[in-house]
Structures are given as C-alpha cells and as structure tokens.
Amino acid sequence: MFNMDYYKSGGILELMLSNLKVRVWHKGFEKFLPKEEWFLNFNGDLFFYPIEIDMTSFSPRMIRASEDLYEVNRYTGMDDKNGQEIYEGDIIRGKLDFGPAGFVEQQLSVKWDNVDGYQWNYWDIPTIEVVGNIYNRAKHD
C-alpha cells in the first residue's frame, strides 16, 4: 500500500493530495501505466479502469488493485537539468558535495527518508540528470 504518513501533518492532507503527482509501475506488465488506466484514492489505494458495471444496480464499480501488483512513485517536486520530472525510483547522476573533498560525480536512486527527506542540499542541483529508474536500470552512455 502507498504510504501516506508524511502527508498527514498540519491538517493539509487534502490540499497536498490535490497537488500530488505520482506514477504507477505495474510489476506484472513491467511498465509504467498511463494515468488513464488508474485512480489513487485518499487512502493510497489504487484502482484500475475499466470500471466494472454492477449488473444488479447498473452502477459503475472500480477494480481495486492488489498491492502485490504495483508500486507508486511520488514526484519529488524537482526537475533534472533537462526539465525531466524526478520521481522516487529514478536513478539520477550529478555532482554531490563531499565537503573538503569537493564535488564528486555520483549516481544513485531517489527515495524518501522519513527523517531527512530527499537530501537535495548535498547536490549541485544544476548537474542532476535522470539516467534511468530502478525498474529498467540506468541508461548506458
């Protein structure tokens, strides 16, 4: 299930969810699903289209996805040097500040830390580039 814990501070859950951007990786199909094929509710439950029709009431009913079949990646709010949105699960490359040692080019996957967040403060932001994701691995130069 999609972990919403860090969005529940200050009573602004609804406001934040209205601006939340995510992408959905389907483990069985091994691809990201187009937005038109799924819906994420406020509890973080994923539902797939098409909508089933309940033949007793003729009302639409969405199909709830099994949590074993998908992973949800949140948009970090950052774009790379080429304007590509950076999502959790992306593999980025760029210069990382190692203090007295200076900046060193690094490559790693993006993930949320409940204490420290995304840790952008150690990166030379204009150098960050998305080079792949944890599902398809990094592109080769």
Over its length of 141 residues, how does the chain's per-residue pLDDT go in tens digits? 444 444 444 444 444 444 578 999 999 889 999 988 888 877 778 888 766 666 666 666 677 888 888 899 999 999 999 999 999 999 999 998 887 878 888 888 998 888 888 888 888 899 999 999 999 875 544
> Distance between CA 71 and CA 29 in Å, rounded?
12
Token pair 């038109």 is found at 36
Among 73, 113, 69, 72, residue whose Cα is nearest residue 90:
73
**pTM of the complete model:** 0.74
Query: Is the CB of residue 1 less than 8 Å from the CB of residue 44?
Result: yes
